[in-house]
Structure 1
Amino acid sequence: MSDWKTAFRSFYYETAEDPADIVLDRRRTALLVIDIQNTYLEPPDDPAEAARWQPFFDRMNTAVIPNTARLLDWARGAGLEVMFARIACQTEDGRDRSLSQKKPGFNYLLLPKNRDDSQIVDALTPRGDEIVVTKTTDSALTGTNLRLMLHNIGITHVIVAGIFTDQCVSSTVRSLADESFEVLVVHDACAAATDELHRRELEIINMIYCHVVASEDLAGFLA
């Protein structure tokens, strides 16, 4: 078990008392996997840029994807609701995208919903009737009807994995917290562009918007 009660604390919570034990009701808990899509595993054409991103690709292939695959196996076996969010636009030219995805730079994304690079990676393929929402926003709640579906299913606790920690993961976590869901972020099943950005964002959102935990902690939380 990790030291989740004391790890990833920001200035705001350095002296705070430890949080209460987490108890998950499997009937009211969902695992949400965010944006682990083919496009993010494609190295840039420029060799220098590809080298700059190599640590991220290494983390994805050696930690995030294998750990998320294990999370999915665990959640399915435990009877939790399994859900996915992915970035994908409805139109071929992306005219339905949010402004942030139309601006030039890293966040520029043109991912038509049926194109291969917009699909969830093969190792994490959804099964059966597992819900997949598509969004052109950072937050999976802002850009979809996910909030409504979570309430309809009776979900109160959401376990989050995916990328990028400091962008779509963080935005979704904050939206979930604002809607009064209890949120757990699995730090070893998430990644930002760099480990520094990843850790910094975990410290920012921990204890106010979510609890940051390790994948090994989760089985111990089930009621």
Structure 2
Amino acid sequence: MIALLIIDMQNAYFEAPELAAKQERLVASCNRLLEGFTSNGHKALLVGTEHERDKSTWTLNMLDDDQGFIFRGSEQAEAVPGLATAGLPQLTKTRDSAFMGTNLLSRLRNWNADEVVLAGVSTHNCIAQTGADAFAHNIRVTYAQDAMASEDSGDAADMLRILSSTYRQPVESNDEILARLSGGQNGTAGGRT
């Protein structure tokens, strides 16, 4: 089973001009993947970041700067307009990795998912950290090239190069990913290099 993780497609992240310019394309690409996964019997999970105002969930840089971000229940924490979230299970995180301090691993095991496709933002931190932690849990990763973006394209390219070569985590287009879902491979990563 392959599971799709849509990561941090929230209003707060698209306040960055570099991501705001890509928002419409990203929403359309994520929605295309969501449709492909659900129509082929695969699971999808909406992963988002939320913090408490009392600083109990803040990261070191937030504490150092004494500035919070994406507070629970705020407009910043809401999914970006147009993202097809209806009926999707959700997971809330407070760190870059979707595995850190969450029940993501249990959910993937319950789904019998041995591979995740990662989409959303930002490639060089939350997506990359989730991918590295998936590797540590022996879960295969594919990065959805058309459905992810970063504020820093140089850092994103560097991270993907490292993850692809060191952890053998491929970067594929939506077409390649969706072809594998419906291509008679029973939802496995069989035949991948």
Partner residue, 2:76 = 117
* SS of equivalent to 1:141: coil
Q: Which runs of 4+ in 1 moved over 4 A?
A: none
Partner Cα separation in structure 2 for residue 101 and residue 30 of structure 1 = 31
Q: Which letter maps to 1:57?
A: A
Q: Does 1:148 align with 2:106?
A: yes
Partner Cα separation in structure 1 for residue 142 and residue 99 of structure 2 = 16
Conserved in 1, the CA contact under 8 Å of 2:115 and 2:141? yes
TM-aligned CA deviation for residue 119 of structure 1 = 1.4
TM-score normalised according to structure 2 size: 0.85
Q: Which letter maps to 1:220?
A: A
Partner residue, 2:175 = 216
TM-aligned CA deviation for residue 109 of structure 1 = 4.2
TM-aligned CA deviation for residue 99 of structure 1 = 2.5
Conserved in 1, the CA contact under 8 Å of 2:49 and 2:94? yes
Deviations 1:51-101 (Å, cap 9, x if unpaired)?
A: xx534321233x222211111111111111010111102x33332223344
Change in CA separation of 1:159 and 1:111 when aligned onto 2, cut-off 3 Å: same
TM-aligned CA deviation for residue 114 of structure 1 = 1.1
Q: Which letter maps to 1:69?
A: N
TM-score normalised according to structure 1 size: 0.74
| Gap runs ≥5 in structure 2 | 186-193
Q: Does 1:78 align with 2:40?
A: yes
* SS of equivalent to 1:123: coil
The share of aligned pairs that are identical, in percent, is 25
Kindly report which structure 2 residues correspond to 1:49-88, keeping only aligned pairs within 5 A, or say none.
54-61=17-24, 63-88=25-50
Conserved in 1, the CA contact under 8 Å of 2:124 and 2:152? no
TM-aligned CA deviation for residue 36 of structure 1 = 0.9
Partner residue, 1:103 = 64
Deviations 1:9-39 (Å, cap 9, x if unpaired)?
A: xxxxxxxxxxxxxxxxxxx110001001011
* SS of equivalent to 1:95: coil
Q: Does 1:162 align with 2:120?
A: yes
TM-aligned CA deviation for residue 133 of structure 1 = 1.0
Partner residue, 1:22 = none
Question: Which residue, 14, 21, 35 being the options, matches 2:8?
Answer: 35
Change in CA separation of 1:55 and 1:88 when aligned onto 2, cut-off 3 Å: closer
TM-aligned CA deviation for residue 216 of structure 1 = 1.3
| Gap runs ≥5 in structure 1 | 1-27, 43-52
* SS of equivalent to 1:202: helix
* SS of equivalent to 2:27: helix
Considering only CA atoms, is the larger Rg found in Structure 1 or Structure 2?
1
Partner Cα separation in structure 2 for residue 206 and residue 109 of structure 1 = 33
